[in-house]
Structure 1
């Protein structure tokens, strides 16, 4: 268990059973990840299994449990897990559809928050975001840019971005490699440059890019330099650094982001998503260690690990 934190933690990035999320599976098929259907999916999963097993062994993670249909039980289990590790609030960015994730987080509204995650190119996407936020209490929008049928700066999405800006909710947009080993390595729609064009058109819209932008870290830093409404989320193991053609570590990522965009636009996330691993305190501990070794003052630590998320989500003490 994490000890000696001395301040609250607000986690901006968790998932409910992402591997069993039908909304994500449908998007993967639309993006051409499984052209051969379930057979092709099974072959790809078998081929990538050694990488996944090696990763779990490296991090001392157990094998994931089979997905459960008991969503209420999953919510209760996550609530107990988060309280045990003293996480004050946690945002689940996917969960099987907007109403599904809203139902789950409503079981523990003092602790769990949720994001909308519907197809932005679907008819009525802007109206669905408004419904999800106003009627169901969701706090933002999550998109996987590699899985979209077009770039996020497509003008047909302007009503969606205008709605998010008016409602004051953040948009979390994954760019870069999707799906770990055996996943989608590249997409024409996932460049931070697309996000920068949206950010310039909607300067009051908060855009957050998870996992330090994956392989697009350089483009993300330049986009954030150009657009003060672009933020970086730290979530996950960030094992993608091993595949870069030059040496890059999590320490390097924190230092470059801290030195260039500052502490007010770095947002902590764990990317916790399955049991029995549960809440990944390992990621939190490592990131806290790095920030403390960089001699960050306490107010910067509080901003990165709680305050920035609170501001983006419209939370009050």
Structure 2
């Protein structure tokens, strides 16, 4: 079975450098990175972008991954992730983090799509404090609509573990992260595929409702899905898949892992777990192929 991971973070050295610069901890940036690695076991990437890219490609070969959709998770990482996708010779697709409130955001989005080879964008309303269907975000959707490019809208719980480990103050406000706010935007921009990661990360019912209202709203399966602990009823991951399939069907669910750092690398265990669940639910092989690869190919034009 062909496998495309629709949700991963590239996390090259530029990402770590930009993040550690925000840390209030004592010492210089190198000291903070060394301490972070010692405390967590995370391997800090070397500065050679080609080598970091090759490490991901080797990981894909070793674990049977055909294509990796990977994010530039900070603006400082954008150029590097664009170049990594180019170096991968078609095996990686790049998605850029965008803050719609930033100056000239729509112009920047157009440039990302036309000049830097990005396939879509990722937005964090809870992090940057704007409405999903507000004017700033809509200006971005207008550009995406011209290219029929997807937007990942992070909804629900948002815990950035690396920020916490570096002592960076939390600014997240999940009042801005309700999937129901996608509905009016998705209705107004039918050419834009809206993707809600992590089954809504706690806003599961709202994700199902948004998906039932709008044919251009999708969800991805990435991360540990530990958000299920926040639900008033007991939910297993099997329950989540069964209900999501009942609303989205096999055509609007996209496999993802949220893989990001080494030595963990690409999380083949999440593929195995999700494959086992889909088989237990007796999802036909052809429908599983849509979830694991076909839908991603269609949305990204691969």
Same fold (TM > 0.5): yes
How far residue 147 of structure 1 moved from its aligned partner, in angstroms, is 0.6
Give the unaligned 5+ runs of structure 2: 27-38, 165-169
Q: 2:152 corresponds to which residue?
A: 172
The SS at the match of 2:174 is: coil
Matched, 1:255 2:249: no
TM-score, length-scaled by structure 2: 0.86
Q: 1:19 to 1:147 in 2, by over 3 A?
A: farther
Q: 1:81 corresponds to which residue?
A: 59
Give the unaligned 5+ runs of structure 1: 1-6, 30-36, 41-52, 54-61
Matched, 1:12 2:6: yes
CA contact (8 A) 1:22 1:96 kept: no
Q: 2:49 corresponds to which residue?
A: 71
CA contact (8 A) 1:9 1:87 kept: yes
Q: Distance in 1 between matches of 2:259 and 2:237?
A: 18
How far residue 156 of structure 1 moved from its aligned partner, in angstroms, is 3.1
Stretch deviating more after TM superposition (306-315 or 182-191): 182-191
Q: Distance in 1 between matches of 2:52 and 2:2?
A: 24
Matched, 1:140 2:120: yes
How far residue 19 of structure 1 moved from its aligned partner, in angstroms, is 9.8
Q: Distance in 2 between matches of 1:16 and 1:163?
A: 25
Q: Distance in 1 between matches of 2:276 and 2:7?
A: 19
Q: 1:278 corresponds to which residue?
A: 265
How far residue 184 of structure 1 moved from its aligned partner, in angstroms, is 6.6
1:177-256, aligned counterparts within 5 Å? Answer: 177-179=157-159, 186-256=173-243
Matched, 1:101 2:95: no
Q: Per-residue CA shift, 1:85-125, capped at 9, x if unaligned?
A: 12111110225433221012211122111012122111221
CA contact (8 A) 1:23 1:118 kept: no
Stretch deviating more after TM superposition (182-191 or 121-130): 182-191
CA contact (8 A) 2:179 2:210 kept: yes
Q: Distance in 1 between matches of 2:91 and 2:271?
A: 18
Aligned residues: 280
Q: 2:31 corresponds to which residue?
A: none
Q: 1:81 to 1:269 in 2, by over 3 A?
A: same
Stretch deviating more after TM superposition (116-125 or 13-22): 13-22
TM-score, length-scaled by structure 1: 0.82
Q: Distance in 1 between matches of 2:238 and 2:17?
A: 34
CA contact (8 A) 2:152 2:197 kept: yes
1:88-167, aligned counterparts within 5 Å? Answer: 88-97=66-75, 98-167=78-147
RMSD: 2.4
Stretch deviating more after TM superposition (98-107 or 231-240): 98-107
The SS at the match of 1:302 is: helix
